[in-house]
Amino acid sequence: MAVLRASKQALRKELKRRLAALSAEEKQRQSLVLSRKLLKHPKYVSSQRIAVFLSMDDEVSTEEIIRDMFKRGKSCFIPRYLSNSSHMDMLEINSLQDLEKLPLTSWNIRQPSDDCNSRKEALTSGGLDLMLMPGLGFDLSGGRLGRGKGFYDTYLRRCSEHPKGKPYTIALAFKEQLCEKVPVDSTDVFIDEVLYEEQ
């Protein structure tokens, strides 16, 4: 276990270094390529209820995707993380204006406030069809290295107990985030597909 933890830490450090070396222009360029790819993806097109992360600086930007979801009338769910646990909820947002009004967290991303109980949570209101996954590193057999808090793994386990079952999961990755093999343990949930810019 300690060996696995150490190899995850070392890989996180290396990936953070690779991401820090990426220019804002390059991140924007790859984000656009991936957004266009996703918008044509059959799973995205056929999904109605979609969970999407709000991107941080070192993640593929999801701005275009969120805009498209509202244009197509899809239901958009975004994470609300509880900071002192690995608990996360996926709460519905109703429009871009709704999103822009949300408070900023210490990570500089918007999320519904803790006392916001009027929003629908994905699992209590019909489940999810598709979940877009953030992460630091990915391999092509579905291994994912997160930031170590376990939010997404815990949430996906909750999804598998839902009558609708686990949503299809797609990771959005910069080429620089692809790894030969991500170290995983029994608590790590594999993802269905990694979307990246192919040469």
Please name each of the domains of the chain with its CATH number.
2-195 (3.40.50.10420)
Structure letter (DSSP) for residue 135:
-
Whole-number pLDDT of residue 188: 85
Residue 156 contacts residue 43 (beta carbons within 8 Å) = no
- The candidate with the shortest Cα–Cα distance to 135, out of 91, 197, 190, 71, is 190
Beta pairing partners, 88: 81
Binding-site residues from annotation = 8-12, 54, 59, 144-152
CB atoms under 10 Å from CB of 189, counted, come to: 20
- The candidate with the shortest Cα–Cα distance to 111, out of 127, 88, 129, is 88
Whole-number pLDDT of residue 118: 76
Whole-number pLDDT of residue 114: 67
Binding-site residues from annotation for ATP = 8-12, 144-152
Whole-number pLDDT of residue 4: 84
- Report the alpha-carbon distance of residue 80 to residue 25 in Å, rounded: 29
pLDDT (tens digit, 0 to 9) for every residue of the chain, 199 residues total? 788 889 999 999 999 999 999 999 999 999 999 999 999 999 999 999 999 999 998 999 999 999 999 999 999 999 998 877 778 999 999 999 999 999 887 777 888 876 666 789 999 999 999 999 999 999 999 999 998 888 999 999 999 998 888 999 999 999 999 999 999 888 888 999 999 998 6
Binding-site residues from annotation for substrate = 54, 59
* Side-chain half-sphere CA neighbours of 88 within 13 A: 21
Phi, psi angles (nearest 5°) of residue 132: -90, 130
Residue 151 contacts residue 193 (beta carbons within 8 Å) = no
**pTM score, whole prediction:** 0.93
3-class SS shares of the chain: helix, strand, coil, % to 5: 35, 20, 45
* Strand, helix or coil for residue 171: strand
Listing DSSP states for 31-68 in one string gives HHHHHHHHHT-HHHHH-SEEE-PPP-TTS---HHHHHH
- Report the alpha-carbon distance of residue 134 to residue 45 in Å, rounded: 20
Q: Which two tokens stand for residue 141?
A: 């057999």
